């Protein structure tokens, strides 16, 4: 259901004629936020902070989105929708966000809703860069928001794993997990060189497994200490994966996260994963994330207005309230493990095979380091060297060993999140969902308790095949891919036979030698 509805819902009414400022708009989550706002609300304008890239300014980069499949349904219904998007040239890496004085004044005068979703999601980003992008930009955005007289809602996008040093995470702040305050870290960042600051990483991040989660935790503390008086909330999504329903099933535009691994497995490149099959997989579809985020902004505005109204009625000053935090993860009513995730994905390999596969899709799941290293050596490194040698003989550049090195690095950095179960309280999220009208629950669906995971994978993997696998889902193409998979199946079984025969021969010789 979209803007053509006869009666607007409460959330649609909130966004009608609003001016929104969004950071991270060119990212995976950001594009879906923009698409949903344009298609399902009558938002007046969306200002998008966007940096120049590869010689293209913000206006050119946004114009290129018209060729993105994500916006195809929207453009069919409203060809002029992009007129409501305005780029704000800038960069969260810049000490002043890189925004011109004229644009700064424009934002100050017009913006009513802010969504700060820009972040570096690279787990092993150098500390100085992670602090600049994830923490310092948060402080700069809050300082800008305080100058906006028309501001009604501000949503800071964090991550469910911003407090991953503990297993049970409530919808509250955890400054006690940090080795020192964000103010101290930011002061050190200003005073020290990049190299010296990065050298302090072990002491500064403490128990945090990487710079991403650490700097996102710092950003939350910045919101806690400097967001006082603002109509602000914090949105903590789990691992964001491809869309479930809206507007395209399975839409995803990057190889980060679980969907990238699934493509690697479907190609026959990734053949072993380090995962605890019983660990909870707190994955959330990107379209559900966006619906939850947009609903939380509306709720934040209403709660803040009510608080101010009550303060005026009692003739007392409104005491600063802590921002409401929304953990958005798996529902306790609908638990899903990493073993379930892999099994659901591989069950559909025959339904959506890739014609570009390099070997039969088959994956070993292990949770013991030495076993993983052994199997990875046998099924990744050894074949990788053979492939690179054959490439050299054909005069081509070897690449497989480098690819496997990157794959193993990625597997290593996600270990803390796929080998243990995290448990989250979701009281605020559940309360928000129950407070929505039936109409809003339909338009802005985000109830994780209702997700049918078998249906999700059936819907989404066909889309993943298109958007990540760069295939076409025609009957002819899928039939061709199945024929390729059938040939690889025969080769796989022959290889198994040869290898096991070799092992049996060696064992037989050893038995004869000693007995």
List the chain pLDDT tens, one digit each, 515 residues: 444 445 889 999 999 999 999 999 989 999 999 999 999 999 999 999 998 877 777 888 888 888 888 898 899 988 888 999 999 999 999 988 999 999 999 999 999 999 999 998 888 899 999 999 999 999 999 999 999 999 999 999 999 999 999 999 999 999 999 999 999 999 999 999 999 999 999 999 999 999 999 999 999 999 999 998 899 999 999 999 999 998 888 888 877 778 778 888 888 899 999 999 999 999 999 999 999 999 999 999 998 888 776 666 665 555 567 899 999 999 888 889 999 999 888 887 878 888 888 888 889 999 999 999 999 998 999 989 989 999 899 888 989 999 999 889 888 888 999 999 999 999 999 999 999 999 999 999 999 999 999 899 888 888 888 888 888 888 898 899 899 999 988 988 898 888 788 878 888 888 877 76
pLDDT of 317 = 54
- Nearest Cα to 22, choosing from 46, 42, 57? 46
Count other C-beta atoms under 10 Å from residue 468's C-beta.
23
| Residue 477 three-state SS | helix
pLDDT of 2 = 47
- Nearest Cα to 234, choosing from 216, 256, 255, 214? 216
- Nearest Cα to 213, choosing from 159, 175, 270? 159
Q: What are phi and psi of 94, to 5 degrees?
A: -75, 145
| Residue 21 three-state SS | strand
- Nearest Cα to 347, choosing from 262, 427, 260, 232? 262
pTM: 0.92
- Nearest Cα to 239, choosing from 497, 418, 403, 486? 418
Q: Which residues pair with 481 in a beta bridge?
A: none
Q: What are phi and psi of 405, to 5 degrees?
A: -60, -40
- Give CA–CA dist 424/329, Å, rounded: 7
Cβ neighbors of 162 (< 8 A, separation 6 or more) are: 213, 216, 217, 219, 220, 236
- DSSP string for 269-302: ---EEE--TTSB--EEEHHHHHHHHHHHHHHHHH
- The first and second tokens of residue 290, run together, are 């966006």
Question: What are the respective helix, strand and coil percentages of the chain, to the nearest 5?
Answer: 55, 10, 35
Domains and CATH numbers, the chain: 10-250+281-335+422-448 (3.40.50.720)
- CB 466, CB 257: distance < 8 Å: no
- DSSP string for 256-272: -SHHHHHHHHHTT---E
- The first and second tokens of residue 86, run together, are 């305005």
- The first and second tokens of residue 238, run together, are 């789990």
pLDDT of 1 = 42
| C-alpha distances in Å from residue 99, one per residue of 96, 254, 300 | 7, 27, 26
- Nearest Cα to 113, choosing from 301, 287, 325? 301
DSSP 360: -
- Give CA–CA dist 213/209, Å, rounded: 7
pLDDT of 316 = 53
């Amino acid at each position: 259901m979209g803007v053509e509805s006869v009666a607007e819902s409460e959330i649609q009414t909130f966004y009608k004629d609003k001016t929104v400022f969004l950071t991270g708009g060119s990212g995976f989550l950001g594009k879906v936020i923009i698409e949903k706002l344009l298609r399902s609300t009558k938002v007046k304008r969306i200002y998008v902070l966007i940096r120049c890239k590869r010689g293209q300014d913000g206006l050119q980069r946004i114009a290129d989105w018209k060729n993105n499949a994500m916006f195809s349904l929207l453009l069919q219904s409203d060809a002029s929708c992009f007129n409501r998007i305005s780029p704000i040239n800038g960069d969260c890496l810049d000490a002043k966000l890189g925004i011109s004085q004229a644009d700064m004044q424009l934002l100050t005068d017009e913006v009513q809703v802010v969504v700060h979703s820009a972040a570096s999601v690279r787990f092993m980003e150098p500390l100085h860069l992670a602090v600049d992008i994830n923490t310092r930009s948060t402080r700069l955005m809050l300082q800008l928001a305080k100058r906006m007289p028309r501001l009604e809602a501000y949503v800071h996008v964090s991550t469910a794993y911003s407090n991953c040093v503990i297993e049970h995470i409530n919808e509250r702040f955890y400054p006690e997990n940090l080795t020192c305050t964000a103010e101290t870290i930011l002061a050190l960042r200003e005073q020290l060189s990049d190299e010296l600051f990065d050298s302090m990483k072990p002491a500064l991040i403490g128990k945090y497994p990487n710079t991403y989660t650490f700097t996102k935790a710092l950003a939350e503390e910045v919101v806690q200490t400097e967001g006082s008086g603002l109509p602000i909330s914090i949105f903590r999504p789990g691992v964001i994966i491809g869309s479930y329903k809206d507007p395209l099933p399975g839409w995803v535009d990057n190889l980060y996260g679980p969907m990238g691994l699934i493509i690697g497995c479907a190609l026959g490149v990734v053949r072993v994963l380090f995962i605890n099959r019983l660990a909870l997989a707190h994955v959330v579809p990107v379209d559900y994330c966006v619906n939850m985020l947009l609903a939380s902004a509306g709720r934040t505005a209403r709660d803040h207005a009510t608080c101010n109204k009550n303060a005026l009625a009692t003739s007392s000053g409104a005491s600063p309230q802590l921002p409401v935090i929304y953990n958005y993860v798996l529902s306790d009513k609908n638990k899903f493990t990493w073993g379930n995730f892999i099994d659901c994905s591989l069950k559909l390999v025959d339904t959506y095979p890739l014609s570009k596969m390099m070997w039969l899709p088959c994956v070993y799941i292990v949770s013991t380091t030495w076993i993983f290293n052994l199997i990875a050596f046998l099924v990744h490194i050894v074949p990788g060297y053979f492939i690179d040698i054959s490439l050299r003989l054909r005069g081509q550049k070897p690449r497989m060993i480098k690819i496997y090195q990157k794959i193993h690095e990625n597997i290593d950095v996600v270990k803390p999140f796929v080998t243990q179960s995290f448990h989250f309280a979701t009281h605020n999220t559940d309360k928000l969902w129950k407070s929505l009208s039936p109409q809003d629950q339909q338009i802005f669906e985000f109830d994780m308790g209702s997700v049918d995971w078998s249906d999700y994978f059936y819907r989404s993997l066909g889309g993943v095949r298109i958007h990540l696998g760069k295939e076409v889902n025609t009957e002819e193409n899928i039939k061709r891919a199945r024929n390729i998979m059938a040939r690889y199946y025969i080769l796989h079984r022959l290889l198994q036979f040869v290898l096991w025969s070799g092992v049996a021969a060696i064992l037989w010789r050893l038995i004869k030698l000693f007995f």
